[in-house]
Amino acid sequence: MKEGIHPEYREVIFQDLSIDFTFKTRSTIQCRDKITWTDGKEYPLYKLDVTSESHPFYTGKQKVMDTAGRIDKFRQRFGNRTGKIGG
């Protein structure tokens, strides 16, 4: 293989913010944050909104989650406009 063209492949901690679930795996993803894992070592941390531990398809539980206030932002932007399309 050519030198210097491949991304660094290392252990990374992924954190599901919706249920505070973390797991360690190997990845090439770039991270800004770091965390100290249970083994005492420091690893790059990548934060996720949804993983298989919290997604309704895998858990079988429907859960309404508005992490960024998307509904409020939409209402502020567009208000309560009601109008008929096409006439």
The answer as to whether 63 is a domain residue is: yes
Q: In whole angstroms, how far apart are CA 7 and each of 3, 29, 35, 47, 71?
A: 10, 9, 21, 20, 38
What pTM was estimated for this model as a whole?
0.63
Instruction: State how far the Cα of 78 lies from the Cα of 87, in Å rounded to an integer.
Output: 20
DSSP per-residue string spanning 60-77: -------TT-HHHHHHHH
pLDDT computed for residue 62 by the predictor: 65
The answer as to whether 87 is a domain residue is: no
Domain span holding position 34:
10-78
The answer as to whether 2 is a domain residue is: no
The answer as to whether 40 is a domain residue is: yes
Per the structure, the count of domains in the chain is 1
The answer as to whether 65 is a domain residue is: yes
Given a cut of 90, whether residue 1 has pLDDT beyond it is no
Question: Which tens digit of pLDDT belongs to each residue from 28-67?
Answer: 999 999 999 999 999 999 999 888 787 767 667 765 666 6
The answer as to whether 56 is a domain residue is: yes
The answer as to whether 5 is a domain residue is: no
Question: Which tens digit of pLDDT belongs to each residue from 3-34?
Answer: 889 899 999 999 998 888 999 999 999 999 99
The answer as to whether 32 is a domain residue is: yes
